[in-house]
Structure 1
């Protein structure tokens, strides 16, 4: 039986692009325990996601420095040296994306939680981002995953039917939100497992 899927929607960070603050902060702290404490209590993921949802980097940075002045240098480094958090592409997944693109069978979109101020850096680093038919960036829209309105924005803008779409993300929270909207979803853990899941759904990659 032929697959009904004609549209595949990728998350970017840690699915196609290795993004990890540890890449930067291992240059600034003496051990990973110190980094973990800093990221759990100061530059938290929740704080980062506010910039992903459209808050200006300058505003977010100043807010944290006012709360944690003793960490001002490391807070400033978060965005001043943000490029150093990029560890490169995730080769296996990029190859899957290429196979899907070359097949000509699918519309390919990216739905990403990303600050509009740092996304141009990623665009300049990773040529495969040009393979997508469109990329919807949370920072540009003022809304982010797992808010259902962010998914709906992509569906509406590009005339995608949820029952014909497949969504891939490494964050299970975002997977659950997509499934609530009737979008078949794969929780990304590795390129090999992704290829196996795709095959089961009739998507050859």
Structure 2
């Protein structure tokens, strides 16, 4: 097994909680209506395009043209975004900070819209501690596309085979492996600690 010299964390659902249901359980109280809204209007695929760099104004205009009766809740997605990311996972953050304190090379690679990431960075100071971050919305590339992994490698001088990527999405883990990285699927901090130790990294 190649020695791991670089550790790369995803952020959403690994270090910071994310759940659109938090505001929308109040905005659309009926669970069936809320599910329909997320399945048909503000879908994951629609939101992913903001992660790729599309502006919220363009995204909202597109959906409002298709679903004019849902205009208010389409706008509510961005208005209430701060409620969707209410807190960090303290146990995961402790692992991240411990790795940095131990002298490990730690960076971040995230699918995130550029403006909401700036908000998150202001709210969660630990995001400033790693050596750097690749934000999909700032470069117009998203996981699991090969190009974003290659961009991160080039930006931070990583050796892919000596890089361990941590992400909550199996697709993104598979994308990293296809790009020549080591990678593990995040489920919880305890499992991650065991995964790190399996790679010879005490956390």
Bin for the TM-score computed over the shorter chain: over 0.9
8 Å contact from structure 1 (residues 57, 117) kept in 2? no
8 Å contact from structure 1 (residues 162, 182) kept in 2? yes
1:162 corresponding residue in structure 2: 160
Looking at structure 1, the residues matched to 69 and 154 of structure 2 have their Cα atoms a distance apart, in angstroms, of 46
| 1:5-26 CA-partner distances (Å, limit 9, x unpaired) | 1110000000000011011101
Looking at structure 1, the residues matched to 93 and 148 of structure 2 have their Cα atoms a distance apart, in angstroms, of 24
1:94 corresponding residue in structure 2: 93
1:123 corresponding residue in structure 2: 121
Looking at structure 2, the residues matched to 33 and 128 of structure 1 have their Cα atoms a distance apart, in angstroms, of 37
| 1:86-126 CA-partner distances (Å, limit 9, x unpaired) | 1200111111101101101x211111001012111101110
8 Å contact from structure 1 (residues 16, 90) kept in 2? yes
User: What is the CA distance between 1:31 and its match in structure 2?
Assistant: 3.4
1:114 corresponding residue in structure 2: 112
Q: How does 1:6-21 map to 2 (within 5 A)?
A: 6-21=5-20
TM-score, normalised to structure 1's length? Answer: 0.96
Let me know the Cα RMSD of the aligned residues. Answer: 1.2
Residue in structure 1 matching 2:145, options 135, 144, 147 = 147
Moved runs in structure 1, 4+ residues, more than 4 A? none
Q: How does 1:126-137 map to 2 (within 5 A)?
A: 126-137=124-135
| 1:145-186 CA-partner distances (Å, limit 9, x unpaired) | 011000100101111001110000001000001011121101
Q: Could you list the runs of 5+ residues in structure 1 that have no partner in the other structure?
A: none
TM-score, normalised to structure 2's length? Answer: 0.97
Looking at structure 2, the residues matched to 33 and 173 of structure 1 have their Cα atoms a distance apart, in angstroms, of 28
- Aligned residues between the structures: 203
Looking at structure 1, the residues matched to 80 and 190 of structure 2 have their Cα atoms a distance apart, in angstroms, of 32
Looking at structure 2, the residues matched to 73 and 20 of structure 1 have their Cα atoms a distance apart, in angstroms, of 19
1:84 aligns with 2:76: no
